[in-house]
Chains A and B, each alone.
Chain A
Amino acid sequence: MNWVANNLPLILQRTGDHLAIAVPAIILSFVISIPIGWVAHHYRWSRGTVLTSIGLLYAIPSLPLFIVIPLIVGTGLRSPVNLVVGLTLYGIALMVRSTADALGSVDSNVEQSASAVGFSAWQRFWRVDLPLAGPVLLAGIRVVSVSTVSLTTVGAVIGISSLGSLFTDGFQRNITAEIYTGIVMTILVALVLDLILVMIGRALMPWIGAVSPRRAARNARAARRSGEVTA
């Protein structure tokens, strides 16, 4: 506790560094996964190919990936950009499948009726398919968020500052409290981001709270299923 009290500015600084890496990676993986997931969902022939190659991406270990990325992107080894790129790739690996599943979870009756009343394909995607895919998308991005926050710490071993730096520093200087602080803060950041995502979800999907009990149960099941992404 003493260590924490004496090092508050450091902790804050590291938390800030951590967020500056994790948050862009989470947002980028969400945004990039949508078109890829849409292709995988929309063109049946592409589904297997897209999902398998994306799955392979996930098979690439993180630390080695962070080391290989500078070679491809041309950034310095210790640049946070490496981490953002690498974490975004992992996020995409998880999120593309969630997106494809999410779009697949939309009731085809509703899609057809939207077309029948005159939504163009483009309008239907933005105003019907995407919002209705929301619950499963949310479940997916929550998983991405938690794993991204946790993976961000790994960059510390190659010298990219984050809450993980509290682990490497604490280990080298034999300060257990520093490592514990790092662990607690990492989990706390993950929890807070998760809470924020849930609140954003509530704000954007007001109809979810209003559904009948039967449909609520169905939504919850779908969400839970895709929540097993990394389980």
Chain B
Amino acid sequence: MIEFRSVTKKFPDGTVAVRDFDLVIPSRKTTVFVGSSGSGKTTLLRMINRMVDPTSGSISIDGEDTSTLEPVALRRRIGYVMQNSGLLPHFKVIENVATVPILNGVPRRRAHQEALTLLDTVGLDRSLADRYPSQLSGGQQQRVGVARGLAADPNILLMDEPFGAVDPIVRAELQVELIRLQRDLDKTVVFVTHDIDEAFLLGDQVVILETGGLIAQVGSPSEIMAAPTNEFVANFIGAERGKRALSIRSTGSGDILVDSSGRAAGILVAPTAPDAE
């Protein structure tokens, strides 16, 4: 469990990126911060692994105040995946994945061995192990980034718009993959995105942010969709534009779902999985 208690971050230049922020991030669930650019998502994420230190307030992980922990050691036990993968261009794929274990003192051979297994886990062919990141496609690089984030077997995985720079088809693949991974691994994932659809797809808990790290609404996707707390949220999730306000219309060949402007948006099917939202 990660807990923010009245956290404020004011940068030296006077920008208040986050103001008086309170939140509990449950363990073994995916929490998504979603908000437009500049709303303080990255700052929030980086305060968890102390890349950024709060100006006031406190953050604790499983009851331990992070300000009492050594930042470098803390970061080594928290996975971090960022946009454009953030891979080290001068390390081979395998070395990138094994970076953190090696920093933690795991013998190189063993670290590489485990890194190979991780490549399997994220769905990458082992033959890519000896390539440099620049020799991979964007989607493959992101997978390596995820593998690196998982390498130290952290309880917490921080992901900052990890799929922001890949094309929509690859992004969809990666999202599905992440859902599968999360089902197997059961990490506490904190995911940042500006894409509300991605947030609803991945999040158990979704946090909609306004500028200044102001929480507009927290809840499960269905809670938020069913009852946006204010106009900002409604706007943000697209309810206003009618994108999500669907209704059933019967056509000659069967029933379909249409949005508020009458465009076809989907079909109605019976729930297949018991845990479907």
Chains A and B touch (C-beta atoms under 8 A apart): yes
User: Interface of A with B (CB < 8 Å)?
Assistant: 107, 109-110, 112-120, 123, 128, 131-132, 134, 205, 207, 210-212, 215
A49 vs B103: C-alpha distance in the bound complex, in angstroms? Answer: 36
A215 vs B136: C-alpha distance in the bound complex, in angstroms? Answer: 13
Given contacts A109-B84, A211-B132, contact A117 B99 (CB under 8 A): yes
Q: Which residues of A contact B103 (CB under 8 A)?
A: 117-119, 123
Q: Which residues of A contact B135 (CB under 8 A)?
A: 210, 212
Q: Across the A-B interface, how many residue pairs have beta carbons closer than 8 Å? A: 69
**Smallest beta-carbon distance A184→chain B, Å:** 38
**Smallest beta-carbon distance A8→chain B, Å:** 44
Does B80 belong to the interface (CB within 8 Å)?
yes
Do residues A116 and B86 form an inter-chain contact, with CB atoms below 8 A?
yes
CB-CB contacts of B123-141 with A at 8 A, as 1s and 0s?
A: 0000000011011000000
Given contacts A118-B72, A207-B134, contact A128 B86 (CB under 8 A): no
Given contacts A109-B84, A128-B88, A205-B90, contact A115 B75 (CB under 8 A): yes
Do residues B51 and A112 form an inter-chain contact, with CB atoms below 8 A?
yes
**Smallest beta-carbon distance A194→chain B, Å:** 23
A33 vs B85: C-alpha distance in the bound complex, in angstroms? Answer: 32
A183 vs B86: C-alpha distance in the bound complex, in angstroms? Answer: 49
**Smallest beta-carbon distance A103→chain B, Å:** 15
Interface residue ranges of B183-226 to A (CB < 8 Å):
none
Does B41 belong to the interface (CB within 8 Å)?
no
Do residues A210 and B80 form an inter-chain contact, with CB atoms below 8 A?
no
Nearest CB in chain B to that of A134: its residue? B90
A122 vs B200: C-alpha distance in the bound complex, in angstroms? Answer: 40
Does B73 belong to the interface (CB within 8 Å)?
yes
Given contacts A207-B132, A210-B132, A210-B134, contact A113 B90 (CB under 8 A): no
Given contacts A113-B80, A116-B51, contact A207 B75 (CB under 8 A): no
Does B87 belong to the interface (CB within 8 Å)?
yes
Do residues B86 and A110 form an inter-chain contact, with CB atoms below 8 A?
yes
Do residues B134 and A116 form an inter-chain contact, with CB atoms below 8 A?
no
Please tell me which one of the listed residues A112, A118, A132 contacts residue B89 in the complex, with CB atoms under 8 A apart: A132
A134 vs B88: C-alpha distance in the bound complex, in angstroms? Answer: 14
Q: Which residues of A contact B85 (CB under 8 A)?
A: 113
Greatest chain A CB density within 10 A among B51, B82, B86, B104 is at B86
**Smallest beta-carbon distance A117→chain B, Å:** 5
Please tell me which one of the listed residues B46, B86, B88, B100 contacts residue A118 in the complex, with CB atoms under 8 A apart: B100
Does B143 belong to the interface (CB within 8 Å)?
no
Nearest CB in chain A to that of B145: its residue? A113
Across the A-B interface, give the 9 residue pairs with the lowest CB-CB distance, nearest first. A113-B86, A118-B76, A118-B75, A116-B80, A210-B132, A211-B134, A207-B90, A212-B134, A207-B132
Interface residue ranges of B63-92 to A (CB < 8 Å):
72-73, 75-76, 80, 82, 84-91
Does B30 belong to the interface (CB within 8 Å)?
no
Q: Which residues of B contact A134 (CB under 8 A)?
A: 90
